[in-house]
Structure 1
Amino acid sequence: MSIKDEIVKVCHLVYQNKFVSAYDGNISVRTDNNSVLITRSGICKGDVTINDILETDFDGNLINGNGKISTENKLHFFIYKNRIDVKAVVHCHPIYATALGLVEGNHLSHYFPEVLLTLGKIPVCKYATPSTEEVTDSIKDFLSDSNAFILQNHGAVTVGACLMDAYYKMEKLEHAAKTIIAAKSIGKPRELTEKNITDLLSISESTYGIKLDINKIL
């Protein structure tokens, strides 16, 4: 499967799973040619074909394709320029994660070991006007230490070592958010204690191959 075919697949997945509606969301991948493949603006992700994927440089200049580049291109380029390990970015408006972004404080509490290991600390980034540099400013303090970002009153962003990695992180974020909201509807959810987290991180590298800094988690 080509990279463009994979982008089409993920676009269809985020639409089918209701992580986006109408023309929402944007997907991108860093190529081996030092360029970016990104979905064009004004297309329902459920309808995306390879003709709706543009190739640009890291400043948003069009290299190949027809159409207007996604309006959130600054967010994608900022991430690629500042995280050389990131190969793909998924930006969606998933219902439950977005809902938490309307009510939560600076970051989500830690409830699930697997979410902590996969996503790290999940910041709730200060509201910023969409498609402006305010959005990049809102995530810059968290970018080096997190793989998932909730944007206040806007949606969520996940990053990954490949496109499916970034997509599955979005899926995990939304599943966790849905579970948190369900738990809060019937009581006060139990958070992981500092000891729980310390114990988990003490085995995370040897057991899961994941190395995390506790000072950046708590």
Structure 2
Amino acid sequence: MDFPKERQAIIEVGQRLYDRGLVVANDGNVSMRLPDGSILCTPTGVSKGGMTPEMLPRVSLDGTVLYAMEGKGPSSEIKMHLRVYERDQSANGVVHAHPPYATAFAIRGETFDAPMMPETVVALPSIPLAGYATPSTHEVPDSIEPFVGTTSACLLEHHGALTWGPSLEQAMLSMERLEYMATVTAITRQLGGERRLSDERIMRLKEIFGT
């Protein structure tokens, strides 16, 4: 089987998403840019906690299917992944999931990027909201395109969240961080509201970490 290590990496990320409750049933999708420029991705209609390496389709950057088991082609949402790879040459991994707290904010039509923790100021300072797009249409990649190249995550209105990065692992870490930020924000609002870092502290972080 071609690209066995990369296939295993996607299997492991899918299992992590499922185990952490960031996806349920057959929701979500994961992809990786391969050394030959093609894209390895998760199949349609399969739980991310129950995939096997041979199930994973491979497509070209224009969406042409290069390999797929019968009945296990790429999800229609591969269009969203391909748009990231087209617009950001540094992106080598993309994760789409439905993390509960982040998705709740997406359903409300609001984001949660107040600078409350040093880690988020450095690693994920901006979380824009992509406007609602009809699933399986080109509206979906069009909705996220304005944010590709300027951040590594966005909410999808009434849908979920999308993260990307220079590796699949970095994209997965961003998804975990995104959900943690959403959870902390929801809890702090229950306690009376966010308490932001001061501008001086934010500037100091940016000086130290070069963000």
TM over 0.5: yes
Match of 2:48 in 1: 45
Once residues 46 and 69 of structure 1 are traced to their aligned partners in structure 2, the CA distance between those partners, rounded to angstroms, is 16
Match of 2:22 in 1: 19
How many equivalent residue pairs? Answer: 206
Match of 1:83 in 2: 88
Q: CA RMSD in A?
A: 1.5
- Do the aligned residues in 2 keep the contact of 1:107 with 1:124 (CA within 8 Å)? no
- Do the aligned residues in 2 keep the contact of 1:108 with 1:124 (CA within 8 Å)? no
**Matched ranges for 1:108-127 at <5 A:** 108-127=113-132
- Do the aligned residues in 2 keep the contact of 1:126 with 1:138 (CA within 8 Å)? yes
Q: Which consecutive unaligned segments of at least 5 residues does structure 1 have?
A: 206-211, 213-218
Tell me how far 1:104 sits from its aligned partner: 4.9
Identity of aligned pairs, percent?
34
Q: Which consecutive unaligned segments of at least 5 residues does structure 2 have?
A: none
> Is residue 140 of structure 2 the alignment partner of residue 135 of structure 1?
yes
- Do the aligned residues in 2 keep the contact of 1:37 with 1:53 (CA within 8 Å)? yes
Match of 2:107 in 1: 102
- Do the aligned residues in 1 keep the contact of 2:96 with 2:162 (CA within 8 Å)? yes
Once residues 124 and 203 of structure 1 are traced to their aligned partners in structure 2, the CA distance between those partners, rounded to angstroms, is 28
Match of 1:61 in 2: 64
> Is residue 191 of structure 2 the alignment partner of residue 186 of structure 1?
yes
Tell me how far 1:195 sits from its aligned partner: 2.7
Tell me how far 1:147 sits from its aligned partner: 0.6
Match of 1:32 in 2: 35
TM-score (structure 1 length as normaliser)? 0.90
- Do the aligned residues in 2 keep the contact of 1:29 with 1:37 (CA within 8 Å)? yes
Tell me how far 1:23 sits from its aligned partner: 0.9
- Do the aligned residues in 2 keep the contact of 1:123 with 1:149 (CA within 8 Å)? yes
> Is residue 86 of structure 2 the alignment partner of residue 70 of structure 1?
no
Tell me how far 1:193 sits from its aligned partner: 3.2
Tell me how far 1:6 sits from its aligned partner: 0.7
Tell me how far 1:107 sits from its aligned partner: 6.0
